[in-house]
Amino acid sequence: MSSLTISGDTSGQITIDAPAVSGTNTQTLVAATGTLAPLISGTAVASTSGTSIDFTSIPSWVKRITVMFNGVSLNGTSNFLIQIGSGSVTSTGYISSSIVTETTGNTNLTSTSGFAVRNSSIATSTVYGSLSIFLISGTTYIASHTFGDVVRTCATSGGGTSPALSAALDRVRITTVNGTDTFDAGSINIMYE
């Protein structure tokens, strides 16, 4: 086995070990300024109470955030709303839409208050899936989502764009369109890179 040791400017070192292989393996590094960032998972939060769930202290270098729902339910029939911000949550200026597809037909939802996620129209809905938020340019972010509701056996999909934030995104809020329905089941987590 061969190894390569890289020493830091002040102290410490990283050793990379490579197993012996026949032939040549080449890994080319991109010749551009940037940082190789790890994929980081947040801490899952029980979505069993309250009207909103916040994830804060997201690092400024983050370019993609995934919001994950695991069996999330509300005590009413409101739709979900995901909002982002820098320093505080931004609640205006979005352009988003979401559609739920059921055997009985499709129902659309639009919102300027956040990234809308259409919920089916019963309080016992149980939602699984994710919404991904991507830095598109400057401090403007786009989102897309796909969710499944195991109670109504339907699917939700959609997307949208945010207004330009005052600085890099540092927080994500998961709430409801009406602002009063409370979470009553499941868990929510984020992953970012």
Residue type, 171: R
Nearest one of 57, 17, 59, 15 to 37, comparing CA atoms: 59
Counting every residue written for the chain, the total comes to: 193
- Per-range mean pLDDT, top range of 59-73, 96-110, 112-126: 59-73
Condensed to tens digits (0 to 9), the pLDDT of residues 135-188 reads 999 999 999 999 999 888 899 999 999 999 999 999 999 999 999 999 999 999
Residue type, 78: S
| pLDDT given for residue 102 in this prediction | 83
Q: What residue segments make up the domains of the chain, in order of their start?
A: 40-192
Residue 18 φ/ψ region, left for φ over 0, alpha for ψ in the -120 to 50 degree band, beta for the rest: beta
Q: CA-based angle 47:94:51, to the nearest 5?
A: 20
**Number of Cβ within a 10 Å radius of residue 100:** 24
**Could you give the CA distance from residue 164 to residue 146 in angstroms, rounded to a whole number?**
24
**Could you give the CA distance from residue 119 to residue 121 in angstroms, rounded to a whole number?**
6
Condensed to tens digits (0 to 9), the pLDDT of residues 35-70 reads 566 899 999 999 999 999 999 999 999 999 999 999
